[in-house]
Structure 1
Amino acid sequence: MTDHDEAATVRPSTLTWVSRHLEAGEHVVGAEVLHGGLSAEMRGLTIGTRGGGTRDLVLRTYVDVADAEDRLDRETGALSLLPGTGVPAPGLVAVDPTAAHCEYPSLLMTRLTGRTVLDDEALELRVTLLARQLVAIHALRPAERPREYVALTTADTVVIPKGADTMVWAAAVDIIRKPPPPREGRFLHRDFQPGNVLFDIPPAKPADARITGVVDWATTSWGPTDLDVAHCSVNLALLHGPAWGLRFPEAYEQAGGVRAADPGERLYWLVRDGLATSEEVRSVARTWRRAGRPDLTTRVVAERLDAYVTALMNAPA
């Protein structure tokens, strides 16, 4: 097997397991590291076919991750649900959630066309497409619900960025001290953001941009639609500036999405996910830089997060 670099090497037992799930006459001929994941190793595998051609798969491996089995169970459930729904997602090939056959818990799936776009290319259109795609995800009605969402932060674990207005942040923290507003649950991706969406943007006709895939279904949950909206909003704010984080909820509603009717409840979810990000600014900034945004230093991300949370708190009700 030819590796694109040493880190791409597939571990022996895992390679044997992958080979057992290929078609007759197929074999792994190459591998490359795929960047962007926070908790899992991602590798693109090139598969040689009987006719002399190739096809591509993706291998997700969790190394020393305590909840790996749960993550793989949830992703397996989502990938089993999505075919035929109109939501573009990888096809499930095989899964080993307890590492019974691989060195570590692993999942093998098809590789989709398209690419992640993290710069400002066709940004207004992409935000509209993201909103429409999220509405479609929230319309899914699985026969078996995934587990309830888990809040990613508490009032006592928020990290106030250096130089931020402490009074504004204290007011934001006070919002999430209250119990979450009661809401009817929906199927959530739970990590829906530009880094997990693939686009095809024709260079000559960017207006024909389309989404070709949504990936990383490892944290699918059941909860309020506002939570997914909030998560995408804060990521857009960090990638492109606070105004784009504020724009996304509006785009979601324009696409037919339904959020909480009460402005205070909508603010609760937006603030909660913004404050959750405060605890992982360094790792988020590192992930974006590895994915091709060297300008997003820890300082820049912290400043954008501060500006976004401040804008949320100062926005008219």
Structure 2
Amino acid sequence: MTDHDEAAVVRPLTLAWVSRHLEAGERIVGTVVLYGGITAEMRRLIIGTGDGRTRDLVLRTFVDPFYVARAEDCLSREAGALAFLAGTGVPAPELVAVDPTAAHCEFPSLLMTHLAGRAVLDDEGAETRVPLLARQLVAIHALRPAERPREYVTLTTADTVVVPKGADAAAWAAAIDVIRKPAPPWEGRFLHRDFQPGNVLFDVPPSRPAAARITGVVDWAAASWGPADLDVAHCSTNLALLHGPEWGQRFAEAYEEAGGVLAAAASDRLYWRVRDALACSEEVRPVARSWREAGRTELTAQVVEERLDAYVTALMDTLG
């Protein structure tokens, strides 16, 4: 291995499984840990080819017991989504192999092609990237799979919301009351379900940041069928926490400017945006940690919690 970091080492059974899915004469010559994720270990595998060149693959491995218990569904859905996306024009990885029940590997795993580009979480250039994110999400929602994926799932309830310390108690109480109500009627769309800057790869020329372009959309393990508002709400929350509350509002506007259609009633839009923001309250700390690992060291749990509070308060002031 060219990377001697223990975290980069591929486990023996998984190594043998990956090797069986390589071309004749190929072998793994290096591994690189990919940071920034929460649910799984991610590694870039450097594959030496028979003619002396290299190519890259990506290995996703679920090892945490909480996620291992859900791995079969997640990896099967991701494999199905990647198979569907091939040839659609949406820049997604190609599926190489999947072992959702760990029949061959130590842990449930998925092997896919590696896409060029990188996730960009910096404040600088957000005004250029947000419209690109919006246009990409509109393109995803325009897809019509012959076989619909499973309907979306939301786990957060009014009783599981974690109100940040020092938050606006009245605003949060009103927001929690919003999600006590049944979901409003919705028109189904193909959803990524975790569409946010950490799962979108960009090519950003150093000398021309305004020429940034999307090179890939990754992490399709939660692909679902549901309202476009739900994907928009999720990206809005992440942008609000990464760049400031106003960016959450601006993303919904950019989505509509790109041709996307959201719920007509303000109360319906509020429901989906509040539901996602409150869901984030339960995982602020791991999200903040993943962003710090990716280079946004100033995004402490306290900073992110304060931004979440400001965003929830702004939603209730604007749409509530």
TM-score with structure 2 length normalisation?
Answer: 0.97
Q: What is the aligned residue count?
A: 317
Matched residue SS, 1:159: coil
Matched residue SS, 1:310: helix
For residue 81 of structure 1, the aligned residue among 84, 87, 94 is 84
Which amino acid in the other structure matches residue 176 of structure 2? Answer: V
Structure 1 residue 296: Cα displacement = 0.5
Residue 276 (structure 1) aligns with: 279
Structure 1 residue 121: Cα displacement = 2.7
Residue 260 (structure 1) aligns with: 263
Counterpart check, 1:120 vs 2:123: yes
Matched residue SS, 1:239: helix
Residue 200 (structure 1) aligns with: 203
- Counterparts of 1:109 and 1:19 in 2: how far apart (Å)? 13
- Counterparts of 2:291 and 2:211 in 1: how far apart (Å)? 26
Within 5 Å, give how 1:130-145 maps onto structure 2: 130-145=133-148
Counterpart check, 1:246 vs 2:252: no
Structure 1 runs (4+) greater than 4 angstroms displaced? none
Deviations 1:231-253 (A, max 9, x none): 00000000000010110000000
- Counterparts of 1:263 and 1:212 in 2: how far apart (Å)? 34
Which consecutive residues of structure 2, in runs of 5 or more, have no partner in the other structure? Answer: none
Within 5 Å, give how 1:1-317 maps onto structure 2: 1-63=1-63, 64=65, 65-315=68-318
Structure 1 residue 125: Cα displacement = 1.2
Q: Is contact 2:267–2:319 with CA below 8 Å preserved after alignment?
A: no
Which amino acid in the other structure matches residue 70 of structure 1? Answer: D
- Counterparts of 2:23 and 2:70 in 1: how far apart (Å)? 31
Deviations 1:239-276 (A, max 9, x none): 00001011000000000001001110001100000011
Matched residue SS, 1:107: strand
Which amino acid in the other structure matches residue 284 of structure 1? Answer: V
- Counterparts of 2:5 and 2:40 in 1: how far apart (Å)? 18
Matched residue SS, 2:179: helix
Matched residue SS, 2:50: coil
Which amino acid in the other structure matches residue 31 of structure 2? Answer: A
- Counterparts of 1:211 and 1:2 in 2: how far apart (Å)? 29
Q: Is contact 1:274–1:305 with CA below 8 Å preserved after alignment?
A: yes
- Counterparts of 2:273 and 2:216 in 1: how far apart (Å)? 25
Matched residue SS, 1:46: strand
- Counterparts of 1:279 and 1:14 in 2: how far apart (Å)? 32
Which amino acid in the other structure matches residue 194 of structure 2? Answer: D
Which consecutive residues of structure 1, in runs of 5 or more, have no partner in the other structure? Answer: none
- Counterparts of 2:309 and 2:185 in 1: how far apart (Å)? 28
- Counterparts of 1:4 and 1:85 in 2: how far apart (Å)? 38
Deviations 1:103-146 (A, max 9, x none): 11111001100011001232111000000000011011111111
- Counterparts of 2:16 and 2:314 in 1: how far apart (Å)? 52
- Counterparts of 1:4 and 1:227 in 2: how far apart (Å)? 41
Deviations 1:150-189 (A, max 9, x none): 1131011111111111111101111000000011111100
Which amino acid in the other structure matches residue 44 of structure 1? Answer: R
- Counterparts of 2:3 and 2:297 in 1: how far apart (Å)? 26
Which amino acid in the other structure matches residue 85 of structure 1? Answer: T
Q: Percent identity?
A: 77
- Counterparts of 1:154 and 1:242 in 2: how far apart (Å)? 23
Matched residue SS, 1:181: coil
TM-score with structure 1 length normalisation?
Answer: 0.98
Task: Note the aligned Cα RMSD (angstroms).
Answer: 0.9
Deviations 1:67-106 (A, max 9, x none): 1010000100110011111100111111111111111111
Q: Is contact 2:229–2:272 with CA below 8 Å preserved after alignment?
A: yes
Which amino acid in the other structure matches residue 231 of structure 1? Answer: H
Structure 1 residue 316: Cα displacement = 5.2
- Counterparts of 1:293 and 1:205 in 2: how far apart (Å)? 22
Q: Is contact 1:190–1:220 with CA below 8 Å preserved after alignment?
A: yes
